[in-house]
Amino acid sequence: MTRADDVQVGIDRIDRSGGSIGEFDQARAEAAVRELLIAIGEDPEREGLKRTPHRVANAYREMFAGLYTEPDEVLATVFDEGHDELVLVKDIPMYSTCEHHLVSFRGVAHVGYIPGESGQVTGLSKLARVVDLYAKRPQVQERLTSQIADALVRRLDPRGVIVVIEAEHLCMAMRGIRKPGATTTTSAVRGLFKTSAVSRGEALDLITR
């Protein structure tokens, strides 16, 4: 199998609905980091770098944990509260990795939904958890925002969903255009928030307060 074939196999294993792509390969990750150190002109055998491949591999295992689980499953637990108004969790800390340069982008996510006719709600911590798991993948902010919204639609069958993410991208701050402090805002609206300007406006007002 060629290197290109190997890469394609990995791509083909991705579940486009948001599932996992398999297990983390610790040894392969460590070898790749070691090769990268050599490629940039460093000596992976010098004292300060001897354990760097191991440490970086462990960090990547944690940073990309969302690849090895099904994020939607955290929304499986629901409660019959008969609630029919907006539920909104603001300022959820969010850390992700830009898939274009493999450097981080970070900020906050705001996640809200209006329960469906059943009035079922999920735990507030579950909203933060689904943000965390989708963020722990190589990402672009636009896709991340949509994936979170779509997960709520799939699992909670709500009347409406709104997700807003505000983040700073280090690929813009520390390289390239070098504009630290620039913030990117993305939103995804579903259901009632898409069809009703009043509902959408109410949610956005609460988010921006």
How buried is residue 206: exposed, middle or buried, by Cβ count under 10 Å (0-12/13-18/19+)?
middle
Angle at 56 between CA 53 and CA 59, to 5 degrees: 150
Contacts of 95 (CB under 8 A, 6+ apart): 104, 105, 106, 135
Q: For residue 121, give Cα distances in angstroms to 103, 115, 129, 145, 158.
A: 35, 6, 15, 20, 9
Inter-helix orientation angle 124-135/141-156, to 10° = 140
Q: Report, as residue numbers or ranges, the catalytic residues.
A: 98-101, 141, 169, 171
